[in-house]
Amino acid sequence: MAKKVGVDNVLAEVLPQEKSAEIEKLQKQGIVVAMIGDGINDAPALAQSDVGIALGSGTDIAMETGSIVLIKDDLRDVVKAIQLSGYISKKIKQNLFWAFFYNTVTIPIAAGVLYPFTGWLLSPSIGAAAMAFSSVSAVLNTLLMRTKKL
């Protein structure tokens, strides 16, 4: 199976403490490690890994230790989880960018930076409406995630 998906380095039938040691060895080489497990013997390795993925049908300790818990036992969901986490990260960055951009522009205006040049001040009610719009735009951008098909 590993050859079919292009994995060169496979460890099989390894004791629980050896799993953690192998993961730590890979991490010392600068490799980001994801571990998929379902049992008590996988819990130490799930905890050691950068991303622990527990199968939902596994033991409670594996599910507690994993960063991600897959509800079904379909390993194809690992790919979907990785894609979804990338998409979520992209949305978070978009929302942060627009919040910082919006605040960088509007806070100085609300503070009266334009007053010496134009004699214009932003009324508190318009400032409040603008801040509400900022929050609404972030929420709407986040709600767009519901349309994403993985």
Does residue 80 lie in a domain region? no
Does residue 52 lie in a domain region? yes
- E-strand ranges in 4-150 read 34-37, 51-55, 68-70
- Name the residue range of residue 134's domain: 87-147
Does residue 57 lie in a domain region? yes
Question: How many domains does the chain divide into?
Answer: 2
The pLDDT mean for the chain works out to 86
Q: Determine which of 40-49, 114-123, 136-145 has the lowest per-residue pLDDT on average.
A: 114-123
Regarding whether 49 and 10 lie in a shared domain, the answer is: yes
Interatomic CA distance for residues 91 and 98, integer angstroms:
11
Question: What pLDDT shows up at residue 140?
Answer: 92
Question: What pLDDT shows up at residue 92?
Answer: 94
CATH of the domain at 29: 3.40.50.1000
Q: Give 88-135 pLDDT, tens digit per residue.
A: 999 999 999 988 888 888 888 888 888 888 888 888 888 788 888 888
Does residue 78 lie in a domain region? no
Contacts with 28 (C-beta within 8 Å, 6 or more apart), sequence order: none
Regarding whether 57 and 7 lie in a shared domain, the answer is: yes
Calculate what percentage of the chain has a pLDDT beyond 70: 99
Calculate what percentage of the chain has a pLDDT beyond 90: 23
Regarding whether 124 and 66 lie in a shared domain, the answer is: no
Regarding whether 94 and 68 lie in a shared domain, the answer is: no
* Residue 9 clears pLDDT 80, i.e. is over it: no
Give one word for 66, left, alpha or beta, with left for phi > 0 and alpha for psi -120 to 50.
beta
Q: Which residue has the higher pLDDT, 30 or 63?
A: 30
Give the mean pLDDT of 57-81. 85
Give the mean pLDDT of 55-69. 84
Strands 68-70 and 34-37: unpaired
